């Protein structure tokens, strides 16, 4: 009987060690997968941030160019002229000539 019990104990010990090894490898694998996912997400965020920074730099350059142009009267006067003639969507620009109009009744009279 002793050899059979010793074999069972050895087999149980080996199975326990095998289960512990598989468990440790599974935990390490799960942690590694989580780290890789986090790294990929951070890389995507970093790429998006770099794209936004590049767009903001382009915008800043355009704004600085506009500020320099508008700081000079030679650049500001045409800009003002253009803006006075701009209309929005679904709008029309109507020019009125200096035709005299009659005052509405009752405005200039006192009771």
- Looking at the predicted structure, is the pLDDT value of residue 48 above 70? yes
- Looking at the predicted structure, is the pLDDT value of residue 111 above 70? no
Rounded Cα distance between 37 and 30, Å, is: 11
Prediction pTM value: 0.52
Rounded Cα distance between 22 and 93, Å, is: 79
pLDDT per residue over 65-105, tens digit each? Answer: 999 988 888 888 777 777 777 777 787 777 777 766 776 66
> Which pair of structure tokens corresponds to residue 90?
């679904």
Domain spans, the chain: 2-84
| pLDDT for residue 99 | 65
Question: Does residue 98 sit in helix, strand or coil?
Answer: coil
Nearest CA to 70 out of 57, 62, 79 is that of 79
Q: Over 47-89, what HEC string results?
A: HHHHHHHHHHHHHHHHHHHHHHHHHCHHHHHHHHHHHHCCCCC
| pLDDT for residue 6 | 87
pLDDT band at 110 (very low <50, low <70, confident <90, very high): low
């Amino acid at each position: 009987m002793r050899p059979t019990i010793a074999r069972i104990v050895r087999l149980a010990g080996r199975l326990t060690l095998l289960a512990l090894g598989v468990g440790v490898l599974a935990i390490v694998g799960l942690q590694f997968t989580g780290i890789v996912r986090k790294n990929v997400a951070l890389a995507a965020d970093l790429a998006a941030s770099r794209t936004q920074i590049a767009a903001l730099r382009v915008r800043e350059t355009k704004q600085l160019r506009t500020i320099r142009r508008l700081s000079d009267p030679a650049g500001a006067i045409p800009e003002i002229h253009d803006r006075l003639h701009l209309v929005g969507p679904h709008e029309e620009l109507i020019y009125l000539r200096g035709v005299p109009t009659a005052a509405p009744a009752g405005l200039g009279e006192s009771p």
